[in-house]
Amino acid sequence: MTSQPADLRVIRARRSFSENAWRTLKTAPFTAWLGMIIILVYAIAALFAPWIAPFGESEIVGKQYLPPSAEFWFGTDQIGRDMFSRVIYGARNTIGIALATTLLSFIIGGTLGVLTALKRGWLDQTISRIVDAFLAIPVLIFALMLLAVFGKSVLLLILILALLDSTRVFRLARATALNVVVMDYVESARLRGEGTGWIIFKEILPNILPPMITEFGLRFCFVFLTISALSFLGVGIQPPTADWGSMVAESKTLITFGRAQPLIPAACIAILTVGVNFVVDWFLHKTSGLRE
């Protein structure tokens, strides 16, 4: 009997959350809906690639550079693999690696940014100067150098890009957290004797979440494009793993013969980037408090 009111409160809270979420989505502009649909389509392709793709990721199914047909929708590549199947598998590989890299960069940069804003002192100065040094080096050039030195595995690609990108995340997390740590409720939590973890997760993080979520979308696009660029240059995701950047590089010579096959993976990169930015723009406008 005593648990029933609590259960009812949980049910009502969930119902209220779902109603508010649906109400917010209904007011979203066309561009935001278009972006969410694009992201959903890409997510389905990435998750269910083995069931959607008609052929295997590295399976040779025909002659080299066959034109699009009923059997091979996008034609075949330089060794006779189905381009449509590799585009589908490329969604899983490119998006999955970009997402893992972005998550890791936010864990590293976000944690250090909030911690230095809270602690200040020598820790803040030391980490900030190290970050300044990394920020002075172009990410693509630095990544090319490190990958050439340490190797071209997927794990190294994720670690290197996450460490380099975490410097940008650190800057935003520190700047936004500095505006929160001076608030009265944070000082009250300190006077109550709350620990560092409690202050970070209960007082600071909820108040900096909207700009951090927005930055996550932008960082994902940046990492996604960087991985594609590195793969195009031959130091990113390595064959025979399907990747949109390397697919453009492998079929780029077809452009001179008037064939559009290299433009297909390039279009996949561009469409996802635009879709994510549509959603990020709407979310930023929604959380900024601005009115139409």
Assigned domain for 100 exists: yes
pLDDT digit string (tens) for the chain, length 292 residues: 444 565 555 555 555 546 566 666 677 788 889 999 999 999 999 899 889 988 888 888 888 888 888 888 888 888 888 889 999 998 888 899 999 999 999 999 998 988 888 888 888 888 888 888 888 888 888 888 888 888 778 888 899 899 989 999 999 999 898 888 878 887 787 778 777 778 888 888 888 888 888 889 889 988 988 888 888 888 888 878 888 888 888 888 888 777 888 888 889 999 999 999 998 888 887 776 545 5
Q: In sequence order, which residues have a C-beta less than 8 Å from that of residue 284 and are 6 or more positions away?
A: 210, 214
Q: pTM for the complete prediction?
A: 0.85
Assess if residue 1 is contained within a domain: no
**Beta partners for residue 256, in sequence order:** none
Query: Rounded CA gap, 243 and 83, in Å?
Result: 11
Owning domain of residue 57 = 28-288
Residue 5 located in a structural domain: no
Domain assignment present for residue 16? The answer is: no
Nearest to 61 by CA among 45, 43, 44, 74: 74
Q: Are 151 and 143 in contact (CB under 8 A)?
A: no
- Residue linked to tokens 């709350």: 194
Kindly state whether residue 50 falls inside one of the protein's structural domains.
Answer: yes
* Rounded Cα distance, 80 and 246, in Å: 16
The Cα–Cα gap between 50 and 210 comes to 35
Please report whether residue 58 resides in a domain.
Answer: yes
What is the pLDDT at residue 290?
A: 46
What is the tally of structural domains in the chain?
1
Residues forming beta bridges with residue 76, ordered by sequence position: 82
Whether residue 210 lies inside any domain: the answer is: yes
CATH number at residue 223: 1.10.3720.10
Q: How far are the Cα atoms of 59, 118, 131 from residue 163, in angstroms, in the given order?
A: 35, 22, 10
Q: How far apart are CA 243 and CA 226, in angstroms?
A: 12
Round to whole Å and give the CA distance between 168 and 171. 5
CA distance 228 to 189: 45
Q: Under DSSP, is residue 174 helix (H, G, I), strand (E, B) or coil?
A: helix
Asked if the structure places residue 199 within a domain, the reply is yes
- According to the model, what pLDDT value does residue 34 have? 92
Sequence letter at residue 126: T
Q: Which of 214, 216, 185 shows the shortest CA–CA distance to 202?
A: 185
- What span, in angstroms and rounded, lies between the C-alpha atoms of 79 and 61? 9
